[in-house]
């Protein structure tokens, strides 16, 4: 049977974050935590593959204990098992350190429940928003990597091949490769199902599996958390609105205003540059 | 910053073996992405400040001409890997070539376009090296020697904040950078660069991935490349007035853009959206018509060379960004401008 691991992250809904105008800092209070929605599309695709071919779906997250809530949501949708990787030592991780821990976790999932064939990640998160964890995990586990996937065309468990459509800026690329593979999910991939009643009941009773650094005897401590992170956020600031240098055009009629604008545009080099 | 983070910033190893700023040029079917030339423009500034070379890496099949182009856009030295296995982008062969070059040439900074391909590639390479990778930067600078640190700044928290990210303990310092933010140098065909051919270490039999098809959609508006954009917002009130904008755009040889409000209302499709969740553009001339100027919109267009705002509300925030402001009813003003533009262009033609 296929073993599919879905990586999910609990994130503050950054669309709800506001800036305190007095202190120029983020107001995080009252901002809801949600499952990064791209990850839910990854989970949905895993569940679709499970419906079609039969598969074991394991969900993993690295985060503080409240991230358990995100895992329960995944269980209610139909995931078989969920793992919370949590430890103070993991805090402050950038994408390099995050991908190290996630990769170790997936490897351990493979040892516990059978080799992993497909890993789903989101295209990016709503908070860190880098889209780098997926490629990082693929690189560490030496998996084939298919990013920005908007459609899974075919999964062939016997031939062990996967065909997808990657949605890029300039068009759609159809790519086929072999398993094991890591796929990063776009929202175009599918429509996320609703939790079923039995799913919700199971989730209410479900206790996620919790792993800490102690569960990874081989873990290289120099590669985790802040210590294992090459990037440092040195400074944050609120971008200033450029000082107004606006020339307000005057005119009694629309025609006069249009002429005033044209005078300005044709006076400088702009019209020349544009070949007007 | 925590004590631990501070301590980390303060000590820095000796990186004197790493020199040069490397731009990884992205292409499809032998046509370069404009972000590559924009990055060469920005890279030129960084390299000059560091008193070092600007390097470019061109990978593909039949892409020798792009090596020369890279020189025209500012590179001092171009590494060229031209091989049939590199005809289409695939992570493994491309990352192998990059890794080999980075290990040999030891650049201190490596930049990629923050495109699907650029991010795919950069994410794999940074992990392999390993080194830090700053995502989706919109501002780059360097500290002058001796520190030579890359100051890579990126929007965070839905563009509400900016963060400057450093990588002190590892080399190279890597970043992906957003298209449309930086400016390319004028193409100068008299510029020459040393072109160094490098081998592709990976044979076809070792590559599992196959690109079966590419469905380019040519009907798509390419706002990032447009020199003139006439954008409309909720003030248009419906889909029909976009025709009026199209007429002005046509008169100026431009393209039509839109705010998210207009896209969400279903008046025009998402390809036209400018802003945080749409395109970042830097045309020479940008019209914001019936657009209020929310930050999620302005992050996508504030780098335009000349911005004209038309809004009936004199206090609309868009006027803080505009070079020219017109307060009034767009339904009256836009047709008048179109007529005026046609008149002036016609006049020039007849002269
Ligand atoms: C302001 C700011 C800027 C930052 N900029 C950078 C930067 O430029 N470079 C950098 O290396 N780090 C950066 N970081 C740190 C980065 O946000 C964290 O490393 C974060 O934990 C992982 O990156 P991400 O959220 O961007 O994930 P992404 O790479 O965007 O996530 C992609 C997918 O990976 C999976 N995934 C990610 N995190 C987890 C997790 N904890 N558990 C399970 N699955 C997961 C999910 O499926 C997710 O959809 C920044 C942090 C801040 C606060
Ligand atoms: C996470 C997130 C991402 C987002 N991403 C984007 C993005 O990529 N791009 C984007 O644009 N927005 C984005 N937004 C939405 C953004 O916050 C604003 O809601 C949006 O830009 C408003 O669009 P608008 O200016 O067209 O509409 P409004 O704010 O409603 O402004 C309409 C303007 O038209 C003027 N007007 C009305 N009638 C006339 C008339 N007859 N003549 C002249 N003027 C008239 C009004 O005075 C008003 O200023 C995003 C929001 C979020 C939360």
What pTM, to 2 d.p., does this model score? Answer: 0.84
- Ligand 1 centroid to Cα of residue A236, in Å, is 17
In DSSP terms, B155 is beta-bridged to B162
- In this prediction, residue A23 carries a pLDDT of 78
Summarised one tens digit per residue, pLDDT across range B16-50 is: 999 999 999 999 999 999 999 999 999 999 999 99
Higher model confidence: residue A18 or residue A180? A180
Distance CA A150, CA A134 (A): 15
For residue A262, which residues of chain B lie inside 8 Å, CB to CB? 337, 340-341, 344
A176 contacts in chain B (CB < 8 Å): 209-210, 212
Dist CA A21 CA A24 (whole Å): 5
Check B210 against A175: CB less than 8 A apart. yes
What mean pLDDT comes out for the span A42-56?
98
ipTM: 0.90
Query: In the block, which residue shows the tokens 């105008």?
Result: A21
Inter-residue contact A38 to A185 (CB < 8 Å)? yes
pLDDT-derived band at A244 (thresholds 50, 70, 90) equals low
How far apart are alpha carbons B86 and B258 in whole angstroms?
A: 37
C-alpha distance from B37 to closest chain A C-alpha (Å): 17
CB-based pocket (< 6 A), ligand 1? A 7-9, 36, 38-39, 60-63, 93-95, 98, 102, 121-122, 124-125, 127-134, 231, 233; B 133-135, 154, 156, 163, 165
**Please, are residues B202 and B85 in contact by the beta-carbon 8 Å criterion?**
yes
A161-198 per-position pLDDT tens digit: 999 999 998 889 999 999 999 999 999 999 999 999 99
Q: Angle of helix B91-105 relative to helix B116-128, nearest 10 degrees?
A: 60
Q: Which two tokens stand for residue B17?
A: 């073996």
Cα three-residue angle A50-A133-A192, rounded to 5 degrees: 35
Cβ–Cβ gap A232/B325 under 8 Å: no
Cα(B187) to centroid(ligand 1), Å: 37
Tell me which DSSP letter residue B24 carries: E
The secondary structure of residue B273, as a DSSP letter, is B
Task: Return the residue matching tokens 């892409």.
Answer: B63
List chain B pLDDT tens, one digit each, 351 residues: 556 555 555 567 889 999 999 999 999 999 999 999 999 999 999 999 999 999 999 999 999 999 999 999 999 999 999 999 999 999 999 999 999 999 999 999 999 999 999 999 999 999 999 999 999 999 999 999 999 999 999 988 877 789 999 999 999 999 999 988 898 999 999 999 999 999 999 999 999 999 999 998 655 677 887 899 999 999 999 999 999 999 999 999 999 999 999 999 999 998 899 998 889 898 999 999 999 999 999 989 988 999 999 999 999 999 998 999 999 999 999 999 999 999 988 755 543
For ligand 2, atom 36, name the residue with the nearest CA.
B235
């Amino acid at each position: 049977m296929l073993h599919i691991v879905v990586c999910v992250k609990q994130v503050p809904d950054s669309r709800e974050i506001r800036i305190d105008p007095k202190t120029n800092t983020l107001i995080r209070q009252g901002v809801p935590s949600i499952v990064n929605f791209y990850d839910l599309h990854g989970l949905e695709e895993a569940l679709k593959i499970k419906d079609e071919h039969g598969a074991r779906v394991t969900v993993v997250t690295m985060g503080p204990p409240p991230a358990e809530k995100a895992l329960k949501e995944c269980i209610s949708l139909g995931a078989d098992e969920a793992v919370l990787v949590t430890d103070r030592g993991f805090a402050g991780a950038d994408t390099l350190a995050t991908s190290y821990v996630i990769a170790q976790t997936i490897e351990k999932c493979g040892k516990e429940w059978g080799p992993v064939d497909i890993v789903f990640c989101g295209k990016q998160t709503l908070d860190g928003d880098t889209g780098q964890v997926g490629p990082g995990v693929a690189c560490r586990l030496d998996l084939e990597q298919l990013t920005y996937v908007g459609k899974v065309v075919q999964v062939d468990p016997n031939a062990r091949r996967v065909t997808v459509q990657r949605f890029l800026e300039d068009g759609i690329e159809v790519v086929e490769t072999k398993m094991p593979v890591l796929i990063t999910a776009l929202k175009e991939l599918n429509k996320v199902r609703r939790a079923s009643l039995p799913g919700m009941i199971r989730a209410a009773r479900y206790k996620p599996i919790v792993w800490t650094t102690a569960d990874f005897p081989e873990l290289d401590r120099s590669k985790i958390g802040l210590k294992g992170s090459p990037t440092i956020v040195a400074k944050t600031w609120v971008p200033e609105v450029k000082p107004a240098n606006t020339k307000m055009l005057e005119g009694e009629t629309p025609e006069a205003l249009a002429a005033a604008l044209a005078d300005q545009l044709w006076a400088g080099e702009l019209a020349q540059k544009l070949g007007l | 910053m925590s004590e631990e983070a501070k301590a980390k910033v303060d000590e820095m190893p000796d990186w004197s073996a790493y020199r040069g700023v490397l731009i990884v040029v992205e292409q499809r079917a032998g046509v370069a992405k404009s972000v590559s030339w924009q990055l060469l423009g920005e890279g030129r500034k960084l390299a000059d400040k560091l008193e070092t070379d600007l390097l470019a890496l061109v990978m593909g099949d039949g892409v020798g001409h792009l090596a020369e182009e890279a020189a025209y856009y500012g590179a001092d030295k171009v590494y060229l890997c031209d091989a049939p296995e590199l005809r289409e982008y695939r992570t493994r062969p491309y990352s192998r070539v990059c890794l080999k070059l980075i290990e040999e040439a030891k650049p201190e900074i490596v930049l990629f376009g923050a495109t699907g391909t650029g991010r795919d590639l950069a994410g794999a390479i940074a992990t392999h090296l390993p080194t830090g990778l700053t995502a989706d930067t919109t501002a780059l600078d360097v500290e002058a020697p001796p520190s030579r640190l890359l100051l890579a700044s990126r929007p965070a928290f839905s563009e509400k904040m900016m963060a400057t990210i450093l990588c002190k303990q590892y080399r190279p310092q890597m970043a992906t950078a957003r298209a449309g933010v930086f400016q390319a140098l004028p193409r100068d065909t008299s510029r020459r660069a040393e072109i160094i051919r490098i081998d592709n270490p990976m044979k076809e039999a070792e590559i599992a991935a196959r690109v079966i098809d590419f469905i380019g959609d040519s009907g798509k508006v390419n706002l990032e490349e447009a020199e003139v954009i006439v954008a409309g917002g909720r003030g248009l009130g419906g889909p029909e007035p976009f025709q009026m904008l199209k007429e002005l755009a046509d008169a100026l040889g431009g393209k039509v853009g839109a705010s998210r409000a207009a896209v969400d209302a279903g008046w025009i499709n998402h390809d036209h959206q400018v802003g945080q969740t749409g395109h970042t553009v830097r045309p020479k001339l940008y019209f914001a018509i019936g657009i209020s100027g929310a930050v999620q919109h302005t992050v996508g267009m504030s780098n335009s060379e000349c911005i004209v705002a038309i809004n009936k509300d004199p206090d609309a925030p868009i006027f803080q960004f505009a070079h020219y402001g017109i307060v009034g009813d767009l339904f009256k003003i836009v047709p008048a401008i179109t007529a005026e533009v046609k008149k002036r262009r016609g006049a020039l033609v007849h002269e």
